[in-house]
Homo-oligomer: A and B are copies of this chain.
Amino acid sequence: MSIGGFIHDEIPSEEVDRIEAAYGPLAEAVRELVDATIRTTVPPEEADLALAEIEAVVKRLRAQQLPGPAGVRFNSEGRAWNWGNAVVGLRNAIAPPLDIVHVESGLAHASVTLGAAYEGPPGLVHGGVTALLLDHLMGETAAASFTRITFTGTLTMVYRRGTPLGPLRLDARIDREEGRKVWVVASIGDEEGPTVEAEGVFIIPRWAT
């Protein structure tokens, strides 16, 4: 059963915990592998060996798998999980993952440390990666502690200076609301202050009001 694309998946919460306890660490190991694949300087022959081993692991994992993307799922106990999300997905090695703290409805922040896999200009975070993380944080903030559904309408980023790789902080808050429109302001930066500032207009769909 699917409601607005969200999938009712009747896995008991206890089993969800067990899966997360196994696949969370696996995704973490894959994140390390992504980093090592970029930074290693061992001879190409070692890459060939690694390739064969990785392909064997992939084959075993693919022996039984979902036909498509993971989607967002929930069970009757009120538990929800979005393991595949590109920013916060526990099982997605592309996601840093971002650990978001919702201080109150419409106010959130996150801390993250970005390594070699998120590079754009030399030594700096890819400008598009800052947009990726900000978009997600702002969307969750607009959703006011998950009490409503919102979609991104427009998003504007102002790049103040380069964002260094390493530990970063993100902040977002609802600035104002008018009818079905929610304005969110946000920033990402290092200990010296914001490097990128963003404003977004998020829309509450008519069918959800």
Contact = CB atoms under 8 A, between A and B. Distances in A.
Number of copies: 2
Contacts of A158: 153-154
Contact of A135 (B45, B86, B128): B128
Most-contacted residue by chain B among A120, A135, A154 (CB, 10 A): A120
Interface string A130-154: 0111111001000000000001111
A65 interface: yes
Given A30-B37, A34-B92, 14 more contacts: A23-B37, A23-B44, A32-B55, A33-B93, A37-B61, A38-B92, A39-B66, A50-B60, A69-B123, A70-B119, A87-B126, A89-B119, A120-B136, A129-B132
Interface of A: 2, 4-7, 18-19, 21-23, 25-27, 29-30, 32-34, 36-42, 44-51, 53-58, 60-66, 68-72, 83-87, 89, 91-94, 115-124, 126-129, 131-136, 139, 151-159, 162, 165
